Amino acid sequence: PDVIIEAQFDDNDAEHGQDHLQDTLVDDIKKLSLDTGEKGDGVHRAKQDDGPKVNDPRLLPDKFLQRTAKVVYILEKKHSRAATGFIKLLADRNSELFRRCAMFSPVDHRVPRAYVSLADCPPDFMTRPEDYSNILFICRIVDWKEDSNFATGQLSKSLGQAGEIEPETEGILTEYGVDFSDFPPEALECLPQSLPWVISPGELAKRRDLR
């Protein structure tokens, strides 16, 4: 229903004033409003029918309408709210926020950037921020206000140098909420206690050797 008309404005239009440009646009709109499906004597005629008016979207058929919705409540938070990323100083050094917060940039771009308190950052981060440009941190999002472009987060721990196997692996497991802590004694009691443990000859005879 919306029609965009592109008009070229040159020096001639400036000489004749804005009235000339407006008259041209009005003529173009009238031409577009004529129905091209009905012709007579080589002149397009406006189709007179009782069809839906494009000015009122309520009169349009359902197939022309875009369904919209609004989130009213979060039933369950599926994401762990934990992300792996880097911390850096804010760009505006003269702002009050610069003296209180740092910026956390997650590796996963689907997760928003977050303000983290400088109290959670390393003690020498303000004086030597370049030392932490390649250090991975775990940050948990605690809040995200409607009127802010950035969330509010809390640094959990420092993982280590980016690009190394152990910090990267721990970061992925933490993001997805995988428990990788040590097994409790109750679970370890199910394992053989006499070490080194070997399969008995009778048990080995019943098994298929895939070594």
Amino acid 18: pLDDT: 55
How many Cβ atoms sit within 10 Å of the Cβ of residue 168? 17
Give the domain range for residue 154: 82-176
Amino acid 151: pLDDT: 94
Mind listing the pLDDT tens digit of every residue in the chain (211 residues)? 455 555 555 555 445 555 665 666 666 666 655 544 444 454 444 455 555 455 777 788 888 888 889 989 889 888 889 999 999 999 888 888 898 999 999 999 989 999 999 999 999 999 999 999 999 999 999 999 988 899 999 999 899 999 899 999 999 999 988 989 999 999 998 888 888 888 889 999 999 989 8
Residue 168 lies in a domain: yes
C-alpha distances in Å from residue 89, one per residue of 23, 35, 111, 142: 55, 61, 19, 20
Amino acid 197: pLDDT: 87
Domain count within the chain: 1
> What's the CA gap between 182 and 108, in Å, rounded?
27
DSSP secondary structure string, 108-143? Answer: STTSPPEEEEGGGS-TTTTT-GGGGTTEEEEEEEEE
Amino acid 199: pLDDT: 87
Residue 100 lies in a domain: yes
Q: How many residues does the chain have?
A: 211
Amino acid 32: pLDDT: 59
Amino acid 11: pLDDT: 53
Question: For position 140, which CATH number holds?
Answer: 2.40.50.700
Amino acid 34: pLDDT: 54
> What's the CA gap between 154 and 138, in Å, rounded?
9
Amino acid 61: pLDDT: 84
Give the SS3 label for residue 199.
coil
Residue 48 lies in a domain: no
Residue 1 lies in a domain: no
Residue 154 lies in a domain: yes
